[in-house]
Amino acid sequence: MADRPAEPEDDFPHGAGNPARGALRHAGYTRLAQLTEVTAAEVLALHGVGPKAIRVLRETLAAEGLSFAGE
């Protein structure tokens, strides 16, 4: 039986940092598109998410034609 690559736990950019990605997963987010339902301030309030992660997530959302709620 051939080994298939595991599906990624999330589709967040690696540039956001592992602590931020872990915080997002712990909060129940696994897909970038889910972040359109919350504000940047709500994401920033998660332990492990800092200003750099918000910037990277905002840029990645914008590249997909998306944004945090209220932006």
H or E element in which residue 21 lies: helix 18-26
pLDDT over 90 at 28, yes or no:
yes
CA distance 46 to 43: 6
Q: pLDDT > 90: what percent of the chain?
A: 86
pTM value is: 0.87
pLDDT over 60 at 45, yes or no:
yes
Give me Rg for the CA atoms of the chain: 13
CA distance 58 to 1: 41
